[in-house]
Structure 1
Amino acid sequence: MTKSYPEQLAEWVKRRESTKRDKNLVAFLAVRDDIKLAVDAGYAVKTIWANMHEEKRVAFGYDTFLNYVNRHIRDKSTRPAEVLPVRLTVDRGRPESKAAPQKQGPKVKAPDAPTGFTFNSQPDVKELI
């Protein structure tokens, strides 16, 4: 009887040697909460990395650290949605107004016909001498 693909994959993962990239990601995820607290407190990412690198909490370079911060901490899909303030209005017998029109960018005027010489491959007979 053959094994299912997930079972084969699980065995392969166990036999495989972990890469440096895997180890770096695991190390980052281990200190992610501390990094998030420091970023939220207003510390620069480079300062956080320098401290953690000096204390040997992370052994990889700043560029890798910054990529992990952007992907795992600053990623917009993992952040809670911003709550916009709601403006309440009092109905004073006025009819409901439609939603305010959205701002549009400045209107761009279409370019005029080019001025100066224009080549016409079929000459106008009236203009010939």
Structure 2
Amino acid sequence: MQKDLSFRISLRVKDKVSSRNARNLAAFLAQREEIQQALNDGWSVYQIWETLHAEQKIAASYNTFCNQVKRLVLKNAGRSHKQAMSLLASPAKAIATGHPAAASRSDGFTFSSTPNDEDIL
């Protein structure tokens, strides 16, 4: 006699080994609140990934981690696209600044097409 479908599904799920992507996603979701708090504190995505990766809490690559942050943290937090992209700045910029507030600040160079006579030597 054939066993019912629910019993067969439960046996299959019990014996199934989770995929690498599923493990990476589960590890990310377990750290999601901490990641959100670190982003709110001004730390760059690279600095967060580097720390979690060194602590072996996240095994995903930096690129995968960035995609997960965009999809699962920034989208849910209601941030604008411009703010999200400034948080995903290049790792070199985040390392060079070193300070969390400086890593996410966007008041940099502004270009003006009209020359200022005082600036000309």
Q: TM-score range by the shorter chain?
A: 0.5 to 0.7
How many residue pairs end up in the alignment?
79
Higher-Rg structure is 1
Provide the C-alpha distance between the structure 2 equivalents of 1:15 and 1:63, rounded to a whole number of angstroms: 31
5 Å matches for 1:80-119?
none
5 Å matches for 1:46-125?
46-75=46-75, 78-79=76-77
TM-score of the pair, normalised by structure 2: 0.55
In the alignment, structure 2 segments of 5+ residues that lack a partner are 79-121
**Deviation, structure 1 residue 10:** 3.1
Q: CA RMSD in A?
A: 2.5
The 3-state SS of whatever aligns with 2:74 is coil
Provide the C-alpha distance between the structure 2 equivalents of 1:68 and 1:47, rounded to a whole number of angstroms: 15
The 3-state SS of whatever aligns with 2:17 is coil
Q: Percent identity?
A: 32
Which letter does structure 1 place at the counterpart of 2:51? N
Could you list the runs of 4 or more consecutive aligned residues of structure 1 that deviate by over 4 angstroms after TM superposition? none
**Deviation, structure 1 residue 9:** 3.0
TM-score of the pair, normalised by structure 1: 0.52
**Deviation, structure 1 residue 31:** 1.0
More helix by share: 2
Which letter does structure 2 place at the counterpart of 1:70? K
Specify which structure has the bigger relative contact order, considering alpha-carbon pairs within 8 angstroms and separated by 6 or more residues: 2
**Deviation, structure 1 residue 36:** 0.6
Corresponding residue of 2:24: 24
Corresponding residue of 1:3: 4
Provide the C-alpha distance between the structure 2 equivalents of 1:12 and 1:53, rounded to a whole number of angstroms: 32
**Deviation, structure 1 residue 8:** 3.5
